[in-house]
């Protein structure tokens, strides 16, 4: 006989969940190291972090280049798999490759090193970087390179070891950077950022170039 009693139905559902095994936390490899890969122990993730991530980042500061790798736990909704390119100043450029997955130990091994495209693409964005502050004016301008077709304005907090401090930054970014949303915890190869502002708008060509192109005869 199939019962239509709400009370009995709730009781049956309660018994089902009582005998259903609780979900086990995900285990991810965790490590940070200079170079194209790193290895470390498997770590049980916090309950809200349901994905593993590997990030390989190539940063260029002036004439200095560095390649670093990080592996950790992350919320899957905050994770982006693929390339992200950013230019926050004329001497501060970074391109990263990330991979997200949702099985125990799935971030073991290595992922491809990101290719750096430093060719100017004619677009520009306001630029600034501020530590210990959650705003910056963006009074300077940075030229975008390669796939960077968006202007970003990110601010929030950054965790560096045991310390957490405010930050704000503006610059050029690839469209993939727009995946980051307010409230997201965004991992990098060295820090973890929690965003309280995440603006991402199309970059613009310099006004002079736009005027010159509008005056040129139609072909």
pLDDT > 90 in the chain, percent: 67
* Helix, strand, coil abundance in the chain, percent, nearest 5: 15, 50, 35
Q: Is 70 exceeded by the pLDDT of residue 176?
A: yes
pLDDT > 70 in the chain, percent: 84
Q: Which two tokens stand for residue 44?
A: 């049980």
- Residue 216 pLDDT class (50, 70, 90 cuts): low
DSSP string over 71-92 = EEEE-GGG---EEEEEEEETTE
Integer distance in angstroms from the first to the last C-alpha of the chain?
80
pLDDT value at residue 23 = 63
CA–CA dist 70, 64 (Å, integer)? 20
pLDDT value at residue 207 = 65
Residue found under tokens 């926050």: 88
Residue 67 contacts residue 106 (beta carbons within 8 Å): no
Q: Which two tokens stand for residue 166?
A: 């405010």
pLDDT value at residue 186 = 82
Residue 184 contacts residue 195 (beta carbons within 8 Å): yes
pLDDT value at residue 215 = 55
Alpha helices in 77-186 (DSSP H): none
Which CATH superfamily does the domain covering 24-205 fall into?
CD59 (2.10.60.10)
Q: Which two tokens stand for residue 86?
A: 């950013």
């Amino acid at each position: 006989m199939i019962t239509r009693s709400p009370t009995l139905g709730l009781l049956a559902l309660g018994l089902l969940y009582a005998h259903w095994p609780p979900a086990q936390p995900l285990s991810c490899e965790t490590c940070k190291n200079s170079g194209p890969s790193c290895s470390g122990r498997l770590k049980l993730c916090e309950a809200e972090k349901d994905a593993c991530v590997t990030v390989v980042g190539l940063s260029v500061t002036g004439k200095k280049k560095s390649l670093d790798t990080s592996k950790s736990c992350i919320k899957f909704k905050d994770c982006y798999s693929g390339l992200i390119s950013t230019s926050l100043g004329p001497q501060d450029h970074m391109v990263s490759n990330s991979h997200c997955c949702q099985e125990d130990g799935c971030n073991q091994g290595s992922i491809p090193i990101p290719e750096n495209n430093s060719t100017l693409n004619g677009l520009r964005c306001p630029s600034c970087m501020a530590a210990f502050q959650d705003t910056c004016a963006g009074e300077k301008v940075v030229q975008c390179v390669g796939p960077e077709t968006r202007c970003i304005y990110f601010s929030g907090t950054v965790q560096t070891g045991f310390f957490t401090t405010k930050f704000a930054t503006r610059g050029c970014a690839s469209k993939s950077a727009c995946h980051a949303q307010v409230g997201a915890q965004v991992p990098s190869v060295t820090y973890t950022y929690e965003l309280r502002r995440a603006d991402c708008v199309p970059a613009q060509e310099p006004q002079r170039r736009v005027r010159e192109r509008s005056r040129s005869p139609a072909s």
